Structure 1
Amino acid sequence: MTDTTLQLEDAALDLDAAAPTTWNAATWFSVISLAATSFALVSAEFLPAGLLTPMARDLGISEGTAGQVVTATASVGAVTAMLSNVLIGRLNRKTVLVGLSALAVGSNLLAALAPNFWLLLLGRAGLGIALSAFWALSVAVVARLVGAHATGRGMGIVTLGVSLATIAAPSAGALISDWLGWRSAMALTAGLAVIAMLLQLLSLPTLPASASNSLADVFRLTRRRGIQLGMLAILLLMTGHFAGSVYVRPFLEQVTQLATGPIALALLGFGIAAVIGNVAGGRMADANIRLALVVTAALMAIAALALVLWGVHIGLAFGFVTLWGLAFGMGPVVLPTNLSRAAPDALEAAGSLMVVSFQVAITTGAVVGGYVVDTYGATGPLTLTVVLAASTVVLALLQPRG
């Protein structure tokens, strides 16, 4: 056993001792600052969905080319996730988090002012670095702030920012773009990152590194059975989600025969349920992580299967899209917490593997889902969601109770 491992184990044992048993105002303020950061970063990530047409027109490129700004963020993020916790070494984690928010400010401003597509891509790549490094550190930082016993609850609040950004960013971006232009919309996300950075400066306690990580430490962690099962759970469930959820709108158009207005209401219900799922998932993860994972995956499988079987009925379609949203809201809380339970002595390294797993799942889900919908029609991707979510239930039952 290495000295680094011993240091990490000592740090893990001290998590609950160092964190308050009840959350005081300072703890709440710290966790909320991280939620504000996740909202700012994810808002910037999803913003292009509402800006592609004016962005493409202004830069003289096709909409397909403009869509590669999303690919740039995700691909750079996947690489960064493996290296971020290695590169930051023994830097104070508060300094790192504030620095990542500053990077997001600069990246969003560069994207807003970019005179050509390549500088726009550079700005989005910087955002990918900030996003992935933040999420790679998130579970470890939350555990230090609230204690290992309340990590799920803390992550539930942090990931509220994700759900709110997913709901607000594309529609708000489109409205602001129509009113002030797409560059103004990009600049406003820089403003959100400034607010998050100020909140971090004011609220986060000093967070000295307990140890530095090496790339070998990260890869060594993959030998643990719990880490393998945790990563596989992320890959299965999130691939299933993104393979199917991207094509929920075509399903509602073609199978349920809904117009644009009712579809927007159904997707709003999905988003509101996801917010509720964040909170419920955090509570359940702290109480029994194995049960939380079973429930999350089972709800998604049931929702997708019910849509395939009875999605022609409008009322049932609305209800099961909402149920899917609840399951999705639980996922970003339950899955990282589940993975972290297998590495209480190496939370930062586990965070890197968590982000890589999510990025691979998102990319795989989008690619496979596109092939399935073109080959088998609107119900195909949802059927794939059923299979992968049900597989996650089986996987969860193989895990130790906890």
Structure 2
Amino acid sequence: MQLRNLGAALAALVLVSSAGADIENDLRTVLKFGPRVTGSPANEQARSYLEAQFRALGYDTRREAFSYPRFDDLGSDLRQGNQTLSGRALEGSTGGEVRARAVRVPGVGTPEDFRAVNVRGQVAVVARGQLSFLQKAKNALAAGAAGLIIVNNEAKELQGRFGERVALPVLAVTSTTGAALRDGQALELRVRVRDGEVRGVNVVAFKSGVARPELLFGAHMDSVFRAPGANDNLSGTVAVLELARRAVNTPLAARSFYVLFDGEEDGLRGSRAFVQAHAPLVQGLKAMFNFDMVGVNVTPLNVTGERRLVETARQVAGLPGSFPADSGSDQVPFDQAGVPTLFFHRGLDANYHQPGDTLADPALIRGAVDAALSIADVVLKASVPAGHSGP
């Protein structure tokens, strides 16, 4: 296609969406699988569905597996009387079951706070705050506690890590659960954990024959434990699929890769694995666009990233933006490898990493795709030398 026709073709894609119903169907279908924790059956079900959608559009796909060590909570809780209360083991905790009394520790769990009560052989209950989780646990161990419960300062599940192995069963609970724990009441603390290797799998979609893409559109498809992940990050996943759907049989598809990363929630594992495995390909990219949490309008759609791309986004899509690149999602390994990146997001919603993350607005996802297509048009024009007549 002539360069003068490239902009017109991409502009038409921005204005015409054939995917309104498709986005809604994608959201409904994948959400039914449940939380997409890397290595889980739901994660594989989602990957198979999404891979099939790319293939139905005429894209080739390949799976790229990687592995890494991970700490897993296998279903920890505590029992008090006839009540079973949920909680989550802190990463680094030892597994085990403890039957003892609950002893509320005053303050935030300093050594002085522990000396004010007798927790020897008991389950210490301490509030979150001021001290690190690790220091609270070490103070509990020094005081002779058989187990530890850390109470969050809000009615949300607490996920955290020690940074090293702690020889104590430790459970984090919400403020609501913490308020129900009565001092001196007998309870059973059950911390069930596993340390081991987890297998992640990225999905890469591309047009046949495309080996050195100029653009890469990415999003992570995994979610966290107990969170269905509609906004974080099925919204971004569906945005990438929608981009592929709207770009099919255009010059954009012939110059792009579409990648669904796994293991983002465990430390950007999938994107790091991709960058490491494809150094020449990555170095040839003109830009990497990443989509994370674009389905809930906490703030209007905005971008962070490389200065030139942010300025382009401001000019052609009217998006607020800032630089340098944001440090919290899959664009980071690409940015660190020297690739210009642009991160599309709408802020952290109230259900971030919570069981209530069940809603994403197709219109907002479509808006992110519209903006990305406008910006991609400019990036591709700039990357084609004068007089070049091919895509």
Give the alignment's TM-score, normalised by structure 2: 0.27
Larger helix proportion of the pair? 1
Structure with the greater alpha carbon radius of gyration: 2
Relative contact order, CA 8 A, sep 6+: which one is greater?
A: 1
Give TM-score scaled by structure 1 length.
0.27
